Amino acid sequence: MTGKVRVAVVGAAGYAGGELVRLLSGHPSVEIASVHARSRDGVALSEAQPHLAPLGLTLVDGEPGEVDVAFLALPHGASAPLAARLLDAGALVVDIGADFRLRDADAYAAWYGGPHPEPDLLPRAVYGLTEWARDDLREARLVANPGCYPTASLLALTPFARAGLVADDVIVDAKSGISGAGRGAGADYLFTELTESTKAYSLGGHRHRPEIEQGLASAGAAVNVTFVPHLVPQSRGLLATCYLGLSTDLDDAALRDLLVDAYGDEPFVHVSEDPPATKRATGSNHAFVHARRTGPNRAVVLSAIDNLGKGAAGQAIQNMNVALGFDETAGIGAPGIHP
């Protein structure tokens, strides 16, 4: 596609929606046609997102009109019905919510507490872990943007799964900045509750676990995943530490070579010579992976991303770029910010 496309962002008052608007505002092939938020019709976007005041945009309470692309940053259950209507109108839909991540309607019902709103759309959705989905994305009209935890975890683990090296169940110990909880979080997410503290949550089962298991199965490793997420006292950033048993004993150099073979030519996934800190990725769509042998037939693989960048808005735009034939890095190529 050449020329500019008209784009709508639904859920623009949230953290991920705001990051989408920020990044899209610098995309050379995008015109932001409308930004949407419930119960805020006619309100300046800057009231919800003060940093976006220079854009001069106004929120709309309602559905997008005639647009080429719609990004949906909505709670689970809310995206699917709207996606159906937008698809019928001819738009490319990129859902950064959860409605199309799990391919099985029964699995969705089990993990999200109710029937899928549009089960007939599930076969049409492309799971947009971009580096491993480009061929499917080029024909896509409906993209399921992966969750932030699965993005980091699957970037770390997929090369080993595809190589047939995953020989045992996998443990993912992952830590996210507080923005991963969204703007609607309650008292447990106040600064006074979280500063100088780190806590695990959803130990009985997190909705991202079946998503990680689904991704590994698609890559050839049908294994169980023990997934423990944590909140850490920082605004943004996500680190996944993944422990796995290997079918072949590999030293550090061989582990690194496997990651380089997978990602050496990628614009956004970088093989780090040392364990990466989340700060490397802050404000960007870049990811950093590192692997180390921990014993005979054992390895740990680390993956650092920005949960709002590669974990949400950045990857959503990357997926749009591939689907529409734009330069994959358009609008999202900048490195992270520091300090």
Hey, which residues are catalytic here?
148
Give dist(CA 294, CA 301) in Å, integer.
10
Strand order in the sheet with 30-36: 59-60, 30-36, 5-10, 69-72, 92-95, 142-144, 126-127
| 309 exposure class (CB count in 10 Å sphere: 0-12, 13-18, 19+) | buried
* Long-range residue pairs from 104-111, CB within 8 A, at least 24 positions apart, any chain: 107/210, 107/214, 111/205, 111/207, 111/210
Task: Identify the CA nearest to 237 among candidates 125, 338, 94.
Answer: 338
Question: What burial letters (b/e) apply to 233-246, b meaning 16+ CB within 10 Å?
Answer: ebebbbbbbbbbbb
| DSSP line for 185-229 | --GGGSHHHHTT--EE--TT--THHHHHHHHHHHTT----EEEEE
- Measured from the Cβ of residue 327, the count of other Cβ atoms closer than 10 Å reads 12
Report CA 247 to chain centroid distance, whole Å.
29
Give dist(CA 242, CA 253) in Å, integer.
18
How, if at all, do strands 142-144 and 92-95 pair? parallel
